[in-house]
Structure 1
């Protein structure tokens, strides 16, 4: 079986996962069927490898903090007549092991073998670790 291919993208201007969710809930960030979307200039050449299980991993303040499964890619023609790609996303934001990421422009492909693992849900009454502490633990190999 082929490894899934994912994407990674900076979430500019958001402070955390809750900010990303709030932005995606705005009408401007949604498709006609109510799913979140992110519009980008470039169409992924490897779209077929992403669809059917690939996710977008969101980089927030220098760390990959969560992912969203990609539902489809829609063509969007801007008011300037330029063809763009809308990355249409399933609603669930899944927290992942915080992973430090240097800034980059646009989006990048991410091999499944390089993708951070999903965080397990905290047990009842258990607090989640601050992202800085999680990132430090991940950096030394604890996570």
Structure 2
């Protein structure tokens, strides 16, 4: 009887470790796919090119953190991508809010809006910028 209990405990530990490892791998791969996507990269490039936003963050160096997968703001489907990307610099941090639409004819993502909201609630519109309107 104790042998079967011992075997059951070993199986439980094994299944728990495999499940945890699988969940961790899935989380890592999802973050990696976000970081490689066109709508993510173009928004981060716009932030890097915006001197006022970078100065307010205290960047470079700019640190981009993992997206919170449970945040309801983060949504991606076939036509729209909406992300809230956590970023920090040496002075402060905040969230980079991005919205992109998929151009069906060109099969590419086009930025609609990129804005940086700092921890002090200041919002800096990055794209479209005030100068281009």
What TM-score range do you get, normalising by the shorter chain?
A: under 0.3
Larger relative contact order (CA 8 Å, sep ≥ 6): 1
TM score, norm. by length of structure 2: 0.25
Higher helix proportion (structure 1 or 2): 2
TM-score normalised over the length of structure 1: 0.24
Pick the structure with more strand per residue.
1
